Amino acid sequence: MLSSVLLLLLMMISGSKADYYGFVFSSSTKDLQADGFPTVARYLYSFSTCAEVDAQVCGNNCNFSEIILNKIQEISGEWCQKERLVTSVTNGSQLSQFGFSGGNWTDNRNGIVSFRVQMQEERGIRSDTGEPNTSPLTAVLPVLRVPSNCQRNFSLLAFDPDGDEIRCRNAQNASECDVCTPAPIINLSSSCALTFSPTGSSNEGSYAVQLMMEDIAGQTLALTQANGGTSQRNTGDVLSKIPVQFVFKVDPVAPSCTEGVYLPRFLPPTPDNGAKISTTVNQTLEITVKAEATQSEITGLLFSGPYNVMRSESGSGTFTLRWTPSDVEGGLSHPICFVVRANFSSSVLTSDLRCVIVTVAKNSAVTTTGPTTSTPTPAVSRTMARSLTTGTTSIATSANQTLDAGPYYVIALKAKILATMSLINDEETLAQLIKEELISYGLPQTISIRILSSGSMEVTNAT
């Protein structure tokens, strides 16, 4: 089913004129069900208008069963980003590569005309986790902006639910890009950081950015397919790769490069870049974003994330992103990225890029005193479990943490631990090691760990 949908997308996009602003792909799996592992593939399309997205992807008819596009955000006269979700079930499949091409990039200084994207998915069941591999997760705005006279750094979100290392590189061959000339005014590191250094006015304008984000095997892995066949990936091998494409715009000089003067500066309680936030299905999450710019006028919050995230403003420079995940989003991690925008005279100025990862627990039977806030909490994700997954002794844990004057958080951890210590004779040592691991994910120093006779674990907070 998935391959036929991808072929349909290829047929509809290829050969069409477009004002293209970028694309991002990711694919995630949920826990094993009776018929296999539910899989959700996420496609983010960016064009100059929402109507253009519809025309390029589904021929102006996005309401039939095969293709439904949901609007994330549209900036009138500039760009629109829409999301398409494709759900399926996998029992492990072989390495697959697929992609599409066509249309025209928006005018750019590095001479990229037609767009081309390629994805690589490794869907075999991993020997270290017992689950299919998950691609890196990221999001990005269709346009990132910088004044030509300001040093600016952008750290792209690079999150892998399997705990694999993620590397970024420029697209580099005919299957990944039609013309592969990198934007000469930015430097890309393998850790997915973009660096822009001040440049002359002759370099102002838009540049097409075409990146590949890859997850890398940290050890030798056996991968099992649905037919029982196996393959091997060695340390350092690429497991999957996703395209990350967007526009990087160099604007005229700003009067000052100091954040908080003309360029918006984030203020608390805005989450840090890369923060991990937990919520549950049918529970409303609130992320507060606050910024200041003393000499320019803050005009809005631009974001990329799940299509049903709602944005509101409560005074100059203070915004709230509200999201109530559905069952479809349960059991998965979701990136949300944002910038604050300001105007000065005829100039548009933006903050740096902030991104968070929201992990949605499957269980919605949680009562709280109000909506979940954006206070970072330990993510209910495979990353947390896999940091402890090294063997065969199963220890299930759960913890309830009550923050002062705030909502309740429920964090669940399932782990397998292999150790030479005895669960009976070395109980205190094991409990201390597990406590240190939980604290490293954000639980308070005051938690107490007790291993029960059943092999389960009790976590309490002394405060």
Domain positions in the chain: 387-461
Q: How far apart are CA 119 and CA 105, in angstroms?
A: 19
Question: Percent of the chain scored above 70 by pLDDT?
Answer: 78
**Residue in 122, 248, 87, 260 with CA at minimum distance from that of residue 183:** 248
Q: Which of 95-99, 106-110, 418-422 has the highest mean pLDDT?
A: 106-110
Predicted local distance difference test score (pLDDT) of residue 123: 84
The amino acid at 199: T
Higher-confidence residue of 433 and 297: namely 297
CA 320, CA 313: separation in Å to the nearest integer?
A: 6
87 touches 206 (CB < 8 A): no
Q: Crossing angle for the helix pair 50-58 and 2-13, nearest 10 degrees?
A: 120
Higher pLDDT, 54 or 406: 54
List the one residue out of 243, 344, 333 whose CA is nearest residue 279.
333
- The rounded distance, in Å, linking the Cα atoms of 83 and 88 is 17
* pLDDT tens readout for residues 393-447: 333 333 333 344 444 344 455 554 555 555 556 677 777 777 766 765 556 767 7
pLDDT of residue 91: 83
Across the chain, mean pLDDT equals 83
The mean pLDDT of 78-84, rounded to a whole number, is 96
Cβ neighbours, 10 Å, residue 20: 29
Overall average pLDDT of the 13-29 stretch: 78
pLDDT reading at 142 higher than 50: yes
- 99 or 413, greater pLDDT: 99
* Segment among 156-165, 333-342, 356-365 with least mean pLDDT: 356-365
Per-residue pLDDT band at 18 (split at 50, 70, 90)? low
**pLDDT confidence of 47, banded at 50, 70, 90?**
very high
Residues 319, 145: Cα–Cα separation, whole Å: 20
pLDDT recorded at residue 417? 56
User: What's the rounded Cα separation, in Å, for the pair 135 and 227?
Assistant: 22
Residue 425: predicted pLDDT = 64
What is the Cβ-side half-sphere exposure of residue 277, based on CA atoms within 13 angstroms? 25
Q: Is the pLDDT of residue 288 over 80?
A: yes
Residue 74 has pLDDT above 90, yes or no: yes
**Is the per-residue pLDDT at 307 higher than 70?**
yes
What pLDDT sits at residue 366? 39
Under a CB-based contact definition with an 8 Å cutoff, are residues 258 and 226 in contact?
no
pLDDT at 184 over 50: yes
Is it the case that residue 133 has pLDDT exceeding 60?
yes
pLDDT band at 225 (very low <50, low <70, confident <90, very high): confident
pLDDT value at position 68?
Answer: 87
Write the pLDDT tens digit of every residue in 231-255.
899 999 999 999 999 999 999 999 9
| 3-state DSSP percent of the chain in helix, strand and coil, to 5 | 10, 45, 45
Amino acid code (one letter) for 131: E
Identity of the highest mean pLDDT range in 125-134, 146-155, 402-411: 146-155
Within 8 A by CB and 6+ apart from 143, the residues are: 21, 78, 79, 206, 246, 247, 248, 249
